[in-house]
Amino acid sequence: MLLLNQNDVMKVLDMAECMEVVEKAFVELASGTAVLPLRINLFTQEGLGLYMPAYLKEMGALACKVVTSYVNNPAKHHLPTIMGKVLLQDPETGDVICIMDGGYLT
């Protein structure tokens, strides 16, 4: 499994290419071949988790973006209030093949 921090993501992704992929994803969404369920909002005592799965059949992409918001993180844990990761999965097996920082992508 590939792990990419924010610096890694910034090095390997070309933003112009990302915009082209996003455009193709919207075309697939409009055509009805994309599966994009409603975001799951999970409240805990300390914060909030947001889970955003998506499957693009034509593009062969299966992923889930996870964003958390924990307001006490900076003071208690020296972490940002908001953090995000993207889990990329193999659409044939469901295996997680990459976990990457979601900040730059967002």
Would you say 85 and 99 are in contact if contact means Cβ atoms under 8 Å apart? yes
Distance CA 98, CA 9 (A): 11
Distance CA 98, CA 51 (A): 16
Residue 76 CB contacts under 8 Å (≥ 6 apart), including other chains:
none
Which H or E element spans position 9?
A: helix 6-12
Residue 97 tokens, joined:
């093949």
Active site residues: 65
